[in-house]
Amino acid sequence: MNDVSKYLTVTALTRYIKYKIDNDENLRLVFLKGEISNFKEHTTGHLYFSVKDETSKINAIMFSSNAKKIGFKITDGMKVLIVGRISVYEATGNYQIYVDEMMEDGIGNLYLEFEKLKKKLSEEGLFDKEKKKPIPKFPEKIGIVTASTGAAIKDIISTIKRRYPICKTYLFPSLVQGENAADDIVNKISTAQLYDLDILIIGRGGGSIEDLWPFNEEKVARAIFSSKIPTISAVGHEIDFTIADFVADLRAPTPTGAAEMAVPNITDVVKHINNLNIRINESINTKINYQKLKVDSLRNSFILKNPMLIYENKKQKLDLLFENLNKNIFINLSNKRLLIDNFKNNYIIKNPNILYEKQKDKLLNIIQKLELVNPLSILKKGYTLTYKENKLIKSVKDINKDEIIKIKLHDGLITSKVIDKE
Amino acid sequence: MTKEKKFEEKMEELENIVNELENGNTDLDDSINKYTKAMQLIKECDEKLKNVEEQVNKIVLENGEIKDFNIEE
C-alpha cells in the first residue's frame, strides 16, 4: 500500500491541472461580467483584483501592458465586462483570469444615450456660444447647487473665502447622485432664480460615470440653459465633459476651479483699483498742466507783451512799399533817358555826311574800274587801232596793198595808204 | 431712493472714466467732473473691499428658510 511512486508531487499535480485548463478551448477565451473587489494596483502597473457576483468570486490579474489601455478609473464595486483567459498560477495553486480587456458594464448604453442627447441639444442651440451669458467679474452673491456635505461645497466655500471674502454664498442643498438627483437639481436651480444672485455654481465632486449621470440628464441641461443667472458647471471630472458642462455659461473642471473662475483675487482687485487711481490722477494732472501751459504761453506771447509791434509792423511795411515805389519810378525814368541818349549818340545821326561819302567812294571805284577796261586808255600807251572802212583790222590778211586805212591814236586819226605788207 | 449700484457696475464705470480721460478729448470742465466722480467711485470700491466682515455663507432650506451655513474645516 505504501508504494511511494503512486504519490504525486504538488508541482506535478498543479502542472497537470494547469495543462488541463490551458488546453480547454472554452477557457482560452472567456467573456466575463461581474463586480470588482479588492482592487490593487501594483507599482509595476499590474492590476490585481477579484471579480465577483452574488455567489461567486474569481481572482483576476491584468498586466500593465493591457491595463494601460483602460480609459477609466477602476474602483471596488464597479461593474465590468472582461475578456481574458483562465490559467493557474503555480506558486499559489490558484486559478485566475488573465484579463486582456476590461470595460465598464452599462457604459455602452449610457454612452449612446449621452451622444444622442448631446446631438439633440446641440442642434437645438443649447450649447451655442452666442447664448452664453457673461460671468460677472466682481460677484457679490454666489449661489451654489450641490450637496451640503462632501468635498465639493467645502472646496467652493473655502476657495471663495480665500480669494474674495467679501462675496456672500447661498447654498441650495441638492442630491447629486441617484435616481432623484436630477429632479432635485432642477428644483434647486429654479429656486435659486428667486434670489438676487450674480453667479450660480452647479456641480459635485468626482465620481464614477453613473454617479455623475444626473449632470447628463436632459432636464438638468434645460434647467441650466433657462437659468437667468450666469451658470458655472463644476462636475469633478477632469477628462470627460458632461452635458451640464456644454450647456453652462462656463465650465470648470472641479468645484475648486469653479470658485476660482467665479471670483477674482481680492488683492488683485485692490491693486487694480490703486492702479486706476494712479492712472486717473496722472491723466487729470497732465490735462491741467497742459491747459496751464497753454494759458501761460498765451499770456507770454510776444505780441500780447508788445502791442506796439502790431502798429510798427504795419508802418514798416508801408515804408517799404513807399520806398519801393520811388525806386521803381526812378529806374523806369532813367531807363527811358538812357534809351534817348543812345539814339542821340548814334554815329550815323551824328555824321550824316558819311552816308554820302560812302556812295561817292563807291562811284569813284566804279569809274576807276571802267577806266581800266576802256580800250582808248590803251592807246595812251602808244598802241593804235587800225580800221578799214570803219572795220577794225586784226590781221594783215584783211588788208591789201594800196588800200586806204585809218589809224586811230589816243588823240586823233591818221589816214594812210598801204604801201606794202609782209 | 434708487438702489445703490453694484460693485461690478461701479468698477465698470470707473474703468470707463479712466479710459475716457486717458484717451478722450474731453474738455477741462468735463474732465474735472469725471475726475471727481471717479474719485468717489474709488473711495466706495475701496471701502467695500476693505470692509471684510466674517464671510457670509447661507443655506436655503427646503421650506425657504435661510440659515447660516458653516463648513467645518
Q: How far is A139 from chain B (nearest CA, A)?
A: 7
pLDDT of residue B1: 40
Taking alpha carbons only, the member of A101, A44, A115 closest to residue A72 is A101
pLDDT of residue B69: 87
Dump pLDDT digits (tens) for A325-340: 888 888 888 888 888 8
Query: Cell digits for A192?
Result: 435659486
Q: Given A153, A170, A288, which is nearest B60 (Cβ)?
A: A170
**A92 vs A238, higher pLDDT:** A92
Segments of chain B with pLDDT less than 50: 1
Query: What chain A residue is nearest to B65 in terms of C-alpha separation?
Result: A172
pLDDT of residue A57: 94
pLDDT of residue B53: 65
Taking alpha carbons only, the member of A147, A291, A138, A103 closest to residue B8 is A138
Mean pLDDT of the residues in chain A: 88
Task: Specify the DSSP element, H or E, that contains B67.
Answer: strand B66-68
> For residue A200, what pLDDT band results from cuts at 50, 70 and 90?
very high
* Spatial separation of the C-alpha atoms in residues A329 and A193, rounded to whole Å: 99
Please give the sequence-ordered ranges of beta strands (E in DSSP) within A42-167, or none if there are none: 47-52, 57-62, 79-89, 94-104, 141-146
Provide the 10 A C-beta neighbour count for residue A275: 11
Structural domain contains residue B23: yes
Q: Is B8 on the interface with A (CB under 8 A)?
A: yes
pLDDT of residue A169: 94
Q: Indicate yes or no: pTM above 0.80.
A: no
Chain A residues closer than 8 Å to B49 by CB: 166, 266, 269-270, 273
Identify the three-state secondary structure at position A24.
Answer: coil
Chain A residues closer than 8 Å to B7 by CB: 138, 140
Does the pLDDT at position A379 exceed 80?
A: no
> For residue A238, what pLDDT band results from cuts at 50, 70 and 90?
low
The predicted model gives A18-46 an average pLDDT of: 92
Q: How far is B41 from chain A (nearest CA, A)?
A: 10
Query: B16, B43, B45: which to substitute to probe chain A, counting the most A Cβ within 10 Å?
Result: B45
Query: What chain B residue is nearest to A287 in terms of C-alpha separation?
Result: B28
Structural domain contains residue B1: no
Identify the three-state secondary structure at position A400.
Answer: coil
Q: How far is A284 from chain B (nearest CA, A)?
A: 7
The predicted model gives A286-292 an average pLDDT of: 87
H and E: helices and strands count for chain B = 2, 2
**Domain total of chain B:** 1
Structural domain contains residue B64: yes
Provide the 10 A C-beta neighbour count for residue A21: 16
pLDDT of residue A109: 66
Cβ–Cβ gap B51/A166 under 8 Å: yes
Structural domain contains residue B2: no
Domains of chain A (ranges, CATH numbers): 4-105 (2.40.50.140), 110-264 (3.40.50.2300), 384-417 (no CATH)
Q: What distances in angstroms separate CA A361 from CA A261, A356, B44, one per listed residue? A: 127, 9, 124
> For residue A385, what pLDDT band results from cuts at 50, 70 and 90?
confident
Helices (H), A53-198: 64-67, 107-124, 151-163, 181-192
Contact A154, B71 (CB under 8 A): yes
**Residue B33's domain spans which residues?**
7-68
Dump pLDDT digits (tens) for A96-120: 999 998 888 876 667 778 888 999 9
Q: What is the ipTM of this complex?
A: 0.83
Query: Cell digits for A233?
Result: 458647471
**A18 vs A238, higher pLDDT:** A18
Q: Given A153, A198, A288, which is nearest B71 (Cβ)?
A: A153
Q: Identify the residue whose cell numbers are 486706476.
A: A276
* Spatial separation of the C-alpha atoms in residues A304 and A156, rounded to whole Å: 70
Angle, vertex CA A60, rays to CA A55 and CA A62, nearest 5: 150
Backbone angles phi, psi at B51, to 5 degrees: -85, 60
Q: What distances in angstroms separate CA A244 from CA A112, A169, A204, A392, one per listed residue? A: 17, 21, 11, 155
**A3 vs A45, higher pLDDT:** A45
Q: Is B39 on the interface with A (CB under 8 A)?
A: yes
**A231 vs A366, higher pLDDT:** A231
Cβ–Cβ gap B55/A158 under 8 Å: no
**B65 vs A13, higher pLDDT:** A13
Does the pLDDT at position A349 exceed 80?
A: no
Chain A residues closer than 8 Å to B14 by CB: 273, 276
